[in-house]
Structure 1
Amino acid sequence: MDDVIPNDIPLETLLADEPMLTLPETAERLGVVITRVHDLLGANKLIAHVIDGKRHIPEALFHEGSHSTGKFVPGLITLLKDGGYTDEEILRYLFTEDETLPGRPVDALHGQLAREVLRRAQAMAL
């Protein structure tokens, strides 16, 4: 899978300046109990990055100022997970700059290029 997703930059570097939410903060943001966050992670509707042994959700998965991830984020995560991608590979894909978009796929998911990001992810998952 790594031949499709660039891996020349360590994931920790890609996510170094990203605001991250703990699972309790994510539950609060979504207005749900923490067990629902665990369910969303287990159902591949959310994705987490492990920092010091604890899972954190990148805040960029959420619409700015919103209490939701938007309709495309869960679908993209599920699509790539079903295609055999690991959490690290999905995060790497989402947070790696792509000059053909332009920008990062995670940012494009919240705008007019969301369908293009999904189309590319679907092609990758085949």
Structure 2
Amino acid sequence: MEPSKTDVGPTEWLTVPEAAERLDVRVTRVHQMVKNGALLAVRRDGVVRLPADLVPDLRSEAGQNSNLARHLAGVLTVLHDAGYSPEEALTWFYTPDSTLPEGTAAAALRERPTEIKRRAQALGF
């Protein structure tokens, strides 16, 4: 049985204003980034929320945050092209995967972006 949207997901969510603060941009820019597929957002309890671990904190040191920012949009595009809705993409990112040392695609994205993108591409075939 496939996990449902209530079975898997991040441990922490951000609202759009919180994401804007973390990214050091205006709220309208976060909405545009979601619309353009650069960020993943879903509606929870009537509020648009973003998985906190998939929103890079650009106010802190670069390194892993820039890696996440650079690769997240590409993976989201691949998932979208494979027909995944934002809810389905969220489930894919957070479904436990024993073949990844980090446990989920979301956790592995910072360290193994090429591997995660390859796995997402395989979904389209």
Corresponding pairs, count: 116
Q: Structure 1 CA distance, aligned partners of 2:124 and 2:19?
A: 27
Q: CA deviation at 1:62?
A: 3.1
Structure 1 unaligned blocks of 5 or more: 1-5
Partner of 1:97: 96
- What is the CA-CA distance between 1:11 and the residue it aligns to? 1.6
Structure 2 runs not aligned, ≥5 long: 59-64
List structure 1 runs of 4+ shifted beyond 4 angstroms.
none
Asked whether 1:19 is paired with 2:19, we answer no
Partner amino acid for 1:109?
L
Question: How far is the alpha carbon of 1:88 from its aligned partner?
Answer: 1.1
8 Å Cα contact 2:19-2:55 kept in structure 1:
no
TM-score (norm 2): 0.84
Who is 1:29 aligned against? Answer: 22
The percent identity for this pair of structures is: 36
Query: What residue identity is the alignment partner of 1:58?
Result: P
Tell me the TM-score normalised to structure 1 length.
Answer: 0.84
Report if the CA contact (8 A) 1:70-1:110 is conserved.
no
How large is the RMSD of aligned CA atoms in angstroms?
Answer: 1.6
Deviations along 1:35-71, one digit per CA (max 9) or x if unpaired, are: 11111111111111211111100011035xx325421
Distance (whole Å) between structure 1 residues aligned to residue 42 and residue 119 of structure 2 = 22
Conserved? CA contact 2:23–2:55, under 8 Å: no
**Amino acid in the other structure paired with 2:104:** R
